């Protein structure tokens, strides 16, 4: 069963306080023994008192070690959980947010008020099946990977970029208008052109269509995405 974030946080606080108390107690005992020679001598001469102090010190050392190990285990657990979350939300080949991540993001845009000034750009790599045949699967993956590197580099300045499926990429831009879309597409066009000049053996050519939520009065994320898909065959344009 997955622990609740609030419970985990309370456990962290409790263990941190316990560590602080143990540290202060150890320091206090050390200071008392060093500053009072008579007490130190009496402890040495009294077997029962000496045994009590030995047990107290062992308890402090064992408790401190136990809590420290707990913190190390918690840190490793947090790192593993973070890595698993990244694997769940990121596409393995491209490193872009995957379909699961896109679905999760759609929960943010579920009313007309939240959809105001939202832009959606749907992009597909042209002739991807032919590329796989002519360049092989590794060559096809290279083209996809190169394009995604470009798309993420350009897109992160504008909004959220995600891989919706094998050859479908979405760019969502908040506070968007037609000018912002043209700026994004212009930047993307230049980067693709530069890539094709440098790597002519792995050329990239994509088609895209763009939709503004304000133009269709979209009331949900997938209303906008569906409109982009609907327009793709008739209104898509090319970048290369």
Indicate if 142 and 207 belong to the same structural domain. Answer: yes
Q: pLDDT (tens digit, 9 = 90+) per residue, 82-108? A: 544 444 455 666 667 666 667 777 778
Range of the domain at 20: 5-88
Indicate if 106 and 218 belong to the same structural domain. Answer: yes
Task: Please state the pTM of the whole predicted model.
Answer: 0.62
Provide mean pLDDT across the span 110-138: 89
Domain boundary among 23, 57, 88: 88
Q: pLDDT (tens digit, 9 = 90+) per residue, 39-86? A: 777 767 777 777 777 777 777 777 777 777 776 766 665 554 454 444
Query: Given a cut of 70, is residue 191 above it in pLDDT?
Result: yes
More confident residue, 197 or 20: 197
Please check whether residue 94 lies inside any domain of the structure.
no
Provide mean pLDDT across the span 205-230: 91
Residue 100 has a pLDDT of 67
How confident is the prediction for the chain on average, in pLDDT?
81
- The secondary structure of the chain, three-state, reads CCCCHHHHHHHHHHHHHHHHHHHHHHHHHHHHHHHCHHHHHHHHHCHHHHHHHHHHHHHHHHHHHHHHHHHHHHHHHHHHHHHHHHHHHECCCCCCECHHHHHHHHCCCCCCCCCCCCEEEEEEECCHHHHHHHHHHHHHHHHHHHHHHHHHHHHCCCCEEEEEECCEEEEEECCCCHHHHHHHHHHHHHHHHHHHHHCCCCCCCEEEEEEEHHHHCCCCHHHHHHHHHHHHHHHCEEEC
Domain boundary among 88, 123, 141: 88
Query: Given a cut of 60, is residue 10 above it in pLDDT?
Result: yes
């Amino acid at each position: 069963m997955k622990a609740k974030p609030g419970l985990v946080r309370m456990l962290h606080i409790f263990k941190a306080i316990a560590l602080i108390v143990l540290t202060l107690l150890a320091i206090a005992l050390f200071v008392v023994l060093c500053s009072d020679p008579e007490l130190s001598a009496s402890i040495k001469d009294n077997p029962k008192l000496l045994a009590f102090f030995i047990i107290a010190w062992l308890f402090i050392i064992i408790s401190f070690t136990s809590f420290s190990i707990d913190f190390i285990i918690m840190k490793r657990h947090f790192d593993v959980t973070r890595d698993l979350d990244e694997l769940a939300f990121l596409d393995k080949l491209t490193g872009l947010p995957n379909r699961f991540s896109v679905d999760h993001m759609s929960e943010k845009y579920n009313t007309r008020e939240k959809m105001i000034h939202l832009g959606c750009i749907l992009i597909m790599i042209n002739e991807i099946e032919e590329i796989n045949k002519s360049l092989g699967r590794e060559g096809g993956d290279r083209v996809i990977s190169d394009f995604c590197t470009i798309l993420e580099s350009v897109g992160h300045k504008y909004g959220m970029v995600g891989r919706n499926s094998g050859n479908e990429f979405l760019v969502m831009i908040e506070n968007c208008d037609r000018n912002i879309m043209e700026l994004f597409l212009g930047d993307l066009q230049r980067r693709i052109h530069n890539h094709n000049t440098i790597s002519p053996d792995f050329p990239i050519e994509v088609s895209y269509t763009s939709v503004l939520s304000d133009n269709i009065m979209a009331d949900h994320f997938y209303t906008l995405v569906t409109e982009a898909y609907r327009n793709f065959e008739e209104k898509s344009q090319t970048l290369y």
